A = this chain, B = another copy of it.
Amino acid sequence: MAAWARAVRGLLLDVSGVLYDSGDGGGVPIAGSVEAVSRIKASGLKLRFCTNETQATREEFVKKLQGLGFDISVAEVTAPAPAACRILKERNLRPHLLVHDDLVPEFAGIDKTNPNCVVIGDAAENFTYANLNEAFRVLIGMEKPVLISLGRGRYYKETDGLKLDVGAYMKALEYACDIEAEVVGKPAKMFFESALAEMGVPPQQAIMIGDDIVNDVGGAQQCGMRALQVRTGKYRPCDESHPHVKPDAYVNNLAEAVDVILQQV
């Protein structure tokens, strides 16, 4: 019996590095993950996909995952862009966007004239020297610069190698402007809490499964959830000696985690 797997009613799954490895042509599923998602759904456990993905609208993102064979729908996905849109509306913020072209439609209902904040996501190829200078100039021109970052990931793995994530570019702008960004997405507590609320499961009965020791595991644990790190995606052996974060368990991959959890249910 694995103690960490007891009394669970809901699972939160990170997507990139847990379900699939992203990359050109949409990426490839991680072995056993398609079946693992189906088994979770068949078990009656509550399930939520909790991603910092900001390279596409949720619609496009879900379509891609469906194409890889996953049983997933838009309504099951918690992602940073819609959370950011709620904040922008609440605070009358008009963003200058430094995001991936494919994410722009998520901000369709938002006034973007005469910007009074910058929203940065994983802009990938849009992280050009010119675009970074432009976002910097918008920020430095404000009396009190407001930078909203869709996640704070350091890097992620695509099929052709590791790529810098939004957090690195967030740090560049933070340093240049001497400010601190507001992070929407993992590991922000509010982001996990909204995913739990959408599932209707308290943190004590939920397990987060991710490949990111800080953003997935550390963030979820700070909300009172258990958290597993998978040894897929961006996992590196040195994560196991992380100075601050210790997962409730390591599993080789999602399929193995689901095996153990479903034995307890």
Contacts and interface: CB of A to CB of B under 8 A. Distances in A.
A118 to B, nearest CB: 13
Nearest to A136: B164
A166 B163 CA distance: 20
A182 interface: no
A130 to B, nearest CB: 9
A219 interface: no
Contacts of A124: 129
A137 interface: yes
Interface in A203-253: none
A74 B178 CA distance: 34
A242 to B, nearest CB: 10
A183 interface: no
Contacts of A155: 136, 140, 176
A233 to B, nearest CB: 14
19 contacts: A127-B132, A129-B164, A132-B164, A133-B161, A133-B163, A136-B162, A137-B161, A140-B162, A154-B175, A154-B177, A164-B172, A167-B176, A168-B172, A169-B172, A171-B171, A171-B172, A171-B174, A171-B175, A172-B172
Interface of A: 124-125, 127-129, 132-133, 136-137, 140, 154-155, 161-165, 167-169, 171-178
